[in-house]
Chain A
Amino acid sequence: MRLWRVLRAALALCAAAGAAWWLLADTVRKYAPAAGDQPLRVSFWGIYEEFEMWGHMLDDFRRKNVGLEVRAEYMPGGRYEQKVKQLLVADEAADVILYQDEPFWMLVDHGKFEDLTGWIERNWGPGASSREALHRRFFATAVDSFGRWEGRGAGRRWHQYGLPIWGGPNLLYCNRKCFARAGVIVGPTPDGSGLWKSPDGKRWIVDDDNWTIDQWVEVLRRLTIPGRPGQPPEQFGYNLGWWLYWLPFHYTLGAGYLDERREHTVFCTPEVLRSLKLQQDLVYRYHVCPAASELTMGQSVGFLGGRLAILNSGPWEMPFCNAAELDYDLLHIPRRSPGGFRATRITWDAVAMYRGSKKKDLAWRLMDHLVTPESQRTVTRVQRDLPSLRSEAGTFVTANPKVHTIKFVEAAEQYAVMQPITIHWEAMARVFARAVQNVLLEDPARRLTPEEAVGMVYDDNDTDAMKLMTVLPPLDANEAAKYREIYLRSGKTR
């Protein structure tokens, strides 16, 4: 009897030990080693090609630093930003973190990223952290996206919080098959203008370096091929897509979202009205862009499948087009007037150093490695992003001779504009996106006019708009009030 009791107790103990091992062993294995024994960690997201690209860059780093263990923490799929934030809260974030420009400053303001200015000075030489010096090394917008002026008077100096590693501007992708179908060719025009039409009207030539927005609209109308009676067009010229992808045209038309200091909204100017009106016209007047329900497969699929002749996107679209062996090329954003102003959106990703990292020297070593010409050449091979290092722009261009990728470099150097990023990005994006969505509503009875949509942005009866007005008030309060009144009197308030 006694033996049976002992046996039972031993069995229970074994079961408990087994369960404890099953539950906790991995955690203990992970946390028991001292900080020095932990590998250097780097977190990133991206498509499979980027995962491979990171693999190459980290292998190079390991070869240069024999014995140093580096752990890549790949977070595929969406909500990378949230996953990183959760790790930051738990003080479990990686030592080096890849981050996008839009949400970057919120984390800097919360003290989560290390100021890299000192590291740059110590490792790249005195004066290397100045804005001018960094502009010589990287694309200017890439530097400005992750750095800022701090201090006053004589103590005012540039502080860099992230090392940009890649990114790129939005340009127009053209599906050559769709262009050929509509009789449109891209190339120099006989008269040097942006658009040339043959006398019989059968052949149009577009010089995308000189074309204007009006000519672009004309071309879109030509590119749009009608469908069967009562059916949507077989081929659309363009798709409006995400509100931020309209930014190139919005800026080119002289419209804005925020003032230069990024403290006020400027969404109630005549240029903004023109920008909204053009979007509405493209869908409902000319019907060269699909309404939301007419292109449900997503614009990338529409472009690859030949339903969209022109796609607005950045270099990140190229791997898909290349993989599909699509016959495509790139076009510049049209100008406001002949020889006039043009602009496009540019976005960058950077690596930042987690302030709570226990291996800051090694983290810097890795970050430094990621912006070496060798690593940046790995970036250019994948053709998903423009390298942030100016010196490697050439290798990016030569990596894909079939496509005029030089236009990405030209746009980045000549006319790309930084996004209207503030720490109130979410609030701002929600309100602006909603205004655009209402200008493009499919129900004509509920669709807003541009004036009403502007008024909607400044409707203080709406919680989101009120919040935006609190954190980013309108620069011209009288104009905002004027449009608000138009919106409130429209009878279409939401």
Chain B
Amino acid sequence: MTPRQNTIGYLFAAPWLVGLLGFTLFPIVVSLLLSFCQWSGINLEFYRPGRKVAPDEEGKYIRWVGTANYRRALGGLADGAKEDFRPPRRSASGAGAARADVPPDKNVWTALKNTAYYSFLAVPLGLCVALATAMLLNQQLRGIGLFRTVFYMPHILGGVATIMMWMWVFNPTYGLFNAMLRAAARAPQQLGLLGASWQPPDWLYGQTWSKPALVIMSLWGTGAAMLIFLAALQNVPEQLYEAARVDGAGRWRQFRHVTLPQITPALFFNLVMGIIGSFQVFDTAYIMTGGEGGVNKSLLFYVLYIYQKAFHDFEFGYASALAWVLFAVILAFTLLLVRSSRWWVYYEGERR
């Protein structure tokens, strides 16, 4: 390729390159720098070392604080985890958390715990539902195209309207879900198997059932994963099934030893995308809780917390540090999955 051709190539790629540099790379670098600073997001004035500033004036400047933001976040993670796994004797006489130079933020642990709970429940369940639906839609039936469209539609219809609909479904008093549960409970109640005072869950209005409610809701939008599974299922060679049948394999064995190994690349892709997506869950919790994080922070997901810190508390430096911690967490999970894939993902034609 001649230098002239190179130049023309770069010129054609220039709009994208400008976008990448200006709207992706630049914010990434700035957020990394900000994560080592304290900034209220209002003044663009830098703090000059040696300048005497009253404690309540500090927040007015962009100030280099080194690793303080990370120590605050990670300290909160460590403290929260410690308390959850080995609860200390809580006493009013002494302070709860050990005072460090940077007070640990235990909300980080709460947010990460909520997110992980959601992620580790919603992603596997979502994959199971998506795979099951894909297998159903892989049948040779009349009008199967219509069914495929209908099952994929919720994925397209996602957004605020869907979330509002689910809020009604989960309403403890008037919601569809609890109406069904109450109807189902009537017979066991009459038989004395269920107490007369039994009440269905309070879903989004309590802290115990709020996350499961969101997990159930997430199953509604598994259309994208389903489509990928469907494509993978259609690529499984028919002769493998024939051979399995000749060997006497039943339906389950065919699924276990033919279908599943053949679709592992799709499974792997959906798993990685699911984990990444679920760790970034935001809109559902934001709309359902008005951005507050639900009853006693039960729906305070990590990205929602970053948003709160940046746009409610105007701690942009700290919010940037939180974003980088999330990046590290997602990266760690993704690397773990990629490393583990060599043992369970099968690529046809690949040398083992």
Point out residues on A near B: beta carbons under 8 Å. Answer: 12, 19, 79, 82, 85-86, 88-89, 91, 106-107, 109-112, 232, 291-294, 296, 423, 426-427, 430, 433-434, 437-438, 441-443, 446, 459-464, 466-467, 470, 481-482, 484-485, 488, 493-494
Contacts and interface: CB of A to CB of B under 8 A. Distances in A.
Contact of B314 (A85, A232, A494): A85
Interface stretch (B87-95, B118-126, B142-150): B87-95
A111 B43 CA distance: 9
A459 B42 contact: no
A85 B172 contact: no
Nearest to B173: A293
B105 A463 contact: yes
Interface of B: 11, 15, 40-44, 56, 60, 76, 83, 90-93, 95-97, 103-107, 167-168, 171-174, 202, 205-208, 292, 295-297, 311-314
Contact of B90 (A79, A86, A461): A461
B313 A292 contact: no
Nearest to A485: B92
B43 A427 contact: no
Contacts of A86: 41
Given A427-B313, A442-B206, A462-B96, 13 more contacts: A19-B15, A85-B41, A85-B42, A110-B40, A291-B173, A293-B172, A296-B167, A442-B202, A446-B206, A460-B95, A461-B106, A464-B107, A488-B90
B324 to A, nearest CB: 20
Top 8 nearest A-B pairs (CB, nearest first) are A461-B96, A485-B92, A494-B296, A484-B92, A293-B172, A463-B107, A293-B173, A110-B42
Contacts of B313: 426-427
A477 B60 CA distance: 30
Contacts of A19: 15
Contacts of A463: 76, 103-107
Contacts of A111: 43, 60
Contacts of B292: 430, 433
Nearest to B57: A109
Nearest to B106: A463
Which residue, A430, A459, A463, A488, has most C-beta atoms of chain B within 10 A? A463
A106 B60 CA distance: 10
Contacts of A427: 313
B90 A481 contact: no
Which residue, A111, A293, A423, A426, has most C-beta atoms of chain B within 10 A? A293
Main secondary structure of the interface of A (DSSP, over half): helix
A442 B42 contact: no
A466 B56 CA distance: 17
B94 to A, nearest CB: 9
Contacts of B296: 434, 437-438, 494
B25 to A, nearest CB: 19
A466 B205 contact: no
Which residue, B91, B95, B205, has most C-beta atoms of chain A within 10 A? B205
Contact of B43 (A110, A430, A466): A110
Contacts of A482: 92
Contact of B311 (A82, A88, A296): A82
A461 B202 contact: no
Contacts of B15: 19
B152 to A, nearest CB: 30
B206 A110 contact: no
Contact of A293 (B44, B107, B202, B207): B202
Contacts of B107: 463-464
Contacts of A485: 91-92
A78 to B, nearest CB: 9
Contacts of A460: 95-97
B103 A466 contact: yes
Nearest to B43: A110
A488 B91 contact: yes
Contacts of B172: 293, 442
B190 to A, nearest CB: 15
B167 A441 contact: no
A174 to B, nearest CB: 25
A393 B92 CA distance: 51
Nearest to A19: B15
Given A434-B296, A462-B106, A494-B297, A112 B42 contact: yes
Contacts of A291: 173, 205
Given A112-B42, A442-B172, A462-B106, A481 B205 contact: no
A463 B77 CA distance: 12
A293 B205 contact: yes
A82 B92 CA distance: 38
A291 B41 CA distance: 38
B312 to A, nearest CB: 5
19 contacts: A19-B15, A88-B42, A89-B41, A89-B43, A107-B42, A110-B42, A293-B202, A294-B173, A296-B174, A430-B292, A437-B295, A437-B296, A442-B205, A460-B95, A461-B96, A463-B76, A463-B104, A466-B96, A484-B92
B42 A293 contact: no
Given A111-B60, A461-B96, A461-B97, A296 B168 contact: yes
A463 B90 CA distance: 15
Nearest to B110: A463
A433 B97 CA distance: 23
Contacts of B167: 296
Given A442-B206, A443-B206, A293 B311 contact: no
Contact of B171 (A79, A82, A293, A423): A293
A294 B172 CA distance: 8
Contacts of B202: 293, 442-443
B80 to A, nearest CB: 9
Contacts of B168: 296
Contact of B295 (A89, A232, A441, A461): A441
A442 B172 CA distance: 10
A182 B150 CA distance: 49
Nearest to A459: B96
A481 to B, nearest CB: 5
A111 B104 CA distance: 30
A110 B314 CA distance: 12
Nearest to A295: B173
Nearest to B313: A426
Nearest to A483: B92
A296 B206 contact: no
Nearest to A91: B44
Contacts of B91: 485, 488
Contacts of A481: 92-93
B317 to A, nearest CB: 14
Contacts of B92: 481-482, 484-485, 488
Contacts of A426: 312-313
A109 B297 contact: no
B106 A441 contact: no
Contacts of A484: 92
Contacts of A433: 292
Contacts of A470: 103
B60 A109 contact: yes
A291 B296 CA distance: 17
Contacts of B314: 85, 106
A329 to B, nearest CB: 30
A485 B93 CA distance: 8
A264 to B, nearest CB: 16
A103 to B, nearest CB: 10
